[in-house]
Amino acid sequence: MTRDLHSHASACGKVILLGEHAVVYGYPAIAAGLPNGLSLSATRHADPAKPIHLKIPAWELDLHLDAITHHPVARACCEVLRFCGGPLQGWTITGQTSLPARAGLGSSAALTVAMARLVLGEDAEVDTVMEASLIGERIFHETPSGIDSLVAARGGILRFVRSQEPTPLTPALSIPLMIVPSLLPRSTATQVAKVRRKIERFPNPGQAILSALGAVVDEGMTAIQTGNLADLGEMMSISHELLSALGVSSPRLDQLFHCALEHGALGAKLTGAGGGGCLIALLPPSEASESSEPVMKTAFCQLNLQPFVVNLAHP
């Protein structure tokens, strides 16, 4: 007996502040939920035998969740629905989002978390929702650490270590971030595999870089908890350089990194798997950022990009 879908479910997007890639190897990372990441609504289809129709116009997704399809989104959604005991036929699911897809802001985790919640309900146990989400995430990313699913399900600012209970962090000041989509497509699985090859080929320097990324997270956590945005910015910039040494930056991301620093950012870095996706730039605290934010925004707009600002605070 399959369960019916709820009429509505949602999930957060995510931004990794520090520690991506190293988190796959057991080092800590800090990530924050982006509220209103993805919202799904479900209505019954006139034909109960028709495969589920999934439409998310903002991601140009319009497909049928046919279990034998090779489309990764359809396969991932089918697996999540099946794990949760949900239906594979007789419904139309429509998604609304302002998150760009495949840009390092957790679009696939938001989709798998919201899909699980359509079956299990908005107040389902986070652990069960995460377990379901990870089944889908493995289809997209092969060896996900779980940080994207956790933040998509929980929101807030979290310190995460693989297979450990996450620690919610309360920032002493809100953290103003400019998020700059580079418009370069990239695949998380490819970037993670690239790092793995580098570490296998050069284990000693590779492990040293991972360990440095972990140390940067520890400093960054203190900076967040004490409201020291200048130190947090420095940790972000160091993290960008370390990720670049692992080979997951790109000429475009490096250009955006320097552009942010030249226009008043306290620090900047690629976020998520890299190779493309987004840059995040830390703005000075509110009074000072009133002058630097428009200057930085103009600089990125002149590169034909559309940055946006989020203020991270603990809910």
Catalytic positions are 148
Query: Shortest CA distance to 245 belongs to which of 216, 284, 287, 288?
Result: 216
Shortest distance (Å) from residue 270 CB to ligand MEV: 10
Contacts to ligand MEV from residues 112-141, by CB under 6 A: 141
Positive or negative, the CA dihedral 161, 223, 244, 283 is positive
- Comparing CB distances to ligand MEV, the nearer of 148 and 293 is 148
Residues 6+ apart with CB under 8 A from 92: 42, 43, 44, 45, 52, 53, 55
CA–CA dist 260, 246 (Å, integer): 21
- Comparing CB distances to ligand MEV, the nearer of 52 and 195 is 195
Could you tell me how many residues make up the chain? 315
24 part of the interface to ligand MEV, by CB under 6 A: yes
- Give the phi and the psi of residue 102 in degrees, each rounded to 5: 50, 40
- Comparing CB distances to ligand MEV, the nearer of 39 and 187 is 187
Virtual torsion, Cα 298, 282, 100, 24, nearest 10 deg: 150
- Give the phi and the psi of residue 154 in degrees, each rounded to 5: -100, -30
Residue span binding ligand MEV (CB under 6 A) among the ranges 15-23, 82-90, 173-181, 227-235: 15-23
Shortest distance (Å) from residue 31 CB to ligand MEV: 8
213 part of the interface to ligand MEV, by CB under 6 A: no
Residue span binding ligand MEV (CB under 6 A) among the ranges 14-22, 32-40, 49-57, 297-305: 14-22
145 part of the interface to ligand MEV, by CB under 6 A: yes
| CB-based contact 53:64 (threshold 8 Å) | yes
Contacts to ligand MEV from residues 245-274, by CB under 6 A: 272-273
Size of the site for ligand MEV (CB under 6 A): 14
Q: Let me know the angle formed at the C-alpha of 18 by 98 and 145, rounded to the nearest 5 degrees.
A: 80
Q: State the alpha helices, DSSP H only, in 155-307.
A: 188-201, 203-226, 229-245, 251-262, 286-301
Shortest distance (Å) from residue 184 CB to ligand MEV: 15
Per-residue contact string for residues 156-195; x = within reach of ligand MEV by CB under 6 A = --------------------------------x---x---
In the complex, which residues of this chain contact ligand MEV (CB under 6 A)?
16, 20-21, 23-24, 141, 144-145, 147-148, 188, 192, 272-273
